[in-house]
Amino acid sequence: MYEPATRVNQMTTTFHATPVFPRGFSCASRNCGIKESGRDLSLFYSETEASAAAIFTKNQFPGAPIVVGREIIRGGVLRAIVVNSRVSNVGRGEEGIRNARRMGAAAARALNVPAHQVLMSSTGIIGIPLPIEKIEAGLQDIASLLQTDPMVGAEGIMTTDTHPKAISTSVGNATITVIAKGSGMIEPNMATMLAYIFTDAEIAIEPLREMLVAAADASFNMLSIDTDTSTSDTCVIMANGQAGPVDHAAFAAALRDACIRMTEILARDGEGATKLLRVHIMGARERAEARRVAKAVVNSPLIKTMAYGADPNVGRIFMAVGKCFDVAMASDRLIAAINGTIVIENGRKSDFDEPSLRRSLSGDPVDIAIDLGVGEGEATAYGCDLTEGYIKENAAYYSS
């Protein structure tokens, strides 16, 4: 029996009602003058050395923090991450590299830790100079503001986000906390714009990196707001070991679920978005092909506007799946469902209660499940609807 409504995003992890930091982690944020108002500078700190791994954007014009960050993360140990918002430090050449290093050094001085153990990120407008003097001044006494509410740090990294984003969960005696930002320019091949993961589990560098890559592959890699890959995408995990060893399989599962949950939060807060859009593909020849079709459907402007307008236009599903020319599928066995209602069966539009489905589409989320009928490959992509708000937000972003 085909059960599309139950096949989208099954998670077993329970998340804390209020996010908390793992042992030994704290954060601070403030306005240092980059924005006219609101926090624009955040610092995340571990009181002991932490095993660390990171993955970065594949965009061929990476920001200066990415260039420097790739060097720093080779050491596999971090004590802190410093982040500014509104100016991304991209497209500034050697000046940008120098300023990224100055930013990390200023944070290291404030915390009295080695500069090579501080990773930096910048997010915001591309191409304008980083106001490094304001950042250095803002970091001078920021250590006095360190506290244990992760939402405080999340506030300082926002750009067009409508709210700060942080979640946490427990794995045995350990905690995993994910803090992220991102509302637009999101369709990366590795992670979302900025995502920082903190845990007090004791995990060595190499297995930590393997678990991060696997978790991002199932979550942040499958997120798309607008098909555009940012120049600043960064995903980092720090594990300071203060909770002791954990079961690696349990930790990997919880990390994956936490990244998926954050992916959904980011998708719901896409620029101008009113609802989460999830597309689950099954029955593909292989997982890679399932991923390709899932992305094609979630990226389709016509699918996105269908979700926004609560318009059950089945032709758009035929179109979005069928344009994947190099993917194997059985057209006479194709099955598709929207919010659990089968709308395509054996490759033909089915008879369904259109008024009822319109009512369902008016809500949040919108789940589309599609069986290609040729194999066992599965994948889920995450996105949002496309609204007038996205156009308005991005038509004036540079001057905002």
What's the mean pLDDT in 355-368? 96
pLDDT of residue 185: 45
Q: How confident is the model at residue 184 (pLDDT cuts 50, 70, 90)?
A: low
What's the mean pLDDT in 91-99? 97
Answer with the residue of higher pLDDT: 187 or 167: 167
CA 374: distance to chain centroid?
Answer: 31
What's the mean pLDDT in 120-134? 95
Quote the CA–CA distance of 97 and 196 in Å, as a whole number: 22
Structure tokens at 202: 């004791």
Judged by average pLDDT, the poorest of 22-26, 137-141, 271-275, 294-298 is: 271-275
Q: How confident is the model at residue 228 (pLDDT cuts 50, 70, 90)?
A: low
For every residue of 251-278, DSSP letters joined together read HHHHHHHHHHHHHHHHHHTSTT--SEEE
CATH numeric code, 25-268? 3.60.70.12
Structure tokens at 191: 């992670």
Bin 91: left if φ > 0, else alpha if -120 < ψ < 50, else beta. Answer: left
Quote the CA–CA distance of 232 and 229 in Å, as a whole number: 9
pLDDT over 90 (residue 76): yes
Place of tokens 């001085």: 109
Query: Per-domain residue ranges for the chain?
Result: 25-268, 274-395
Report the DSSP beta bridge partners of residue 244.
201
What's the mean pLDDT in 367-387? 95
Quote the CA–CA distance of 346 and 332 in Å, as a whole number: 5
Quote the CA–CA distance of 85 and 121 in Å, as a whole number: 9
Q: Count other C-beta atoms under 10 Å from residue 391's C-beta.
A: 12
Quote the CA–CA distance of 3 and 37 in Å, as a whole number: 49
Sequence-separated (6 or more) residues with CB below 8 Å from residue 149: 21, 27
Quote the CA–CA distance of 222 and 281 in Å, as a whole number: 12
Contact status, residue 397 vs residue 127, Cβ threshold 8 Å: no
Looking at the chain, the whole-number percentage of residues with pLDDT higher than 90 is 82
Mode of pairing for the β-strands spanning 234-245 and 194-202: parallel
pLDDT of residue 186: 46
Closest by Cα among 337, 354, 335, 336 to 346:
335
Structure tokens at 317: 């599903």
What's the mean pLDDT in 140-152? 98
Quote the CA–CA distance of 264 and 258 in Å, as a whole number: 10
pLDDT over 80 (residue 338): yes
What's the mean pLDDT in 362-388? 94
Residue 219: exposure state from Cβ atoms within 10 A (0-12, 13-18, ≥19): buried
Closest by Cα among 32, 227, 236 to 134:
32
Mode of pairing for the β-strands spanning 366-371 and 335-338: antiparallel
What homologous superfamily does CATH list for 274-395?
ArgJ beta chain, C-terminal domain (3.10.20.340)
Contact status, residue 203 vs residue 239, Cβ threshold 8 Å: yes
Structure tokens at 45: 């700190």
Q: Could you give the residue numbers annotated as active site?
A: 192
Quote the CA–CA distance of 101 and 65 in Å, as a whole number: 8
Residue 228: exposure state from Cβ atoms within 10 A (0-12, 13-18, ≥19): middle
CA 257: distance to chain centroid?
Answer: 12
pLDDT of residue 9: 56
Sequence-separated (6 or more) residues with CB below 8 Å from residue 309: none
Largest distance between two CA atoms of the chain: 67
Quote the CA–CA distance of 317 and 292 in Å, as a whole number: 14
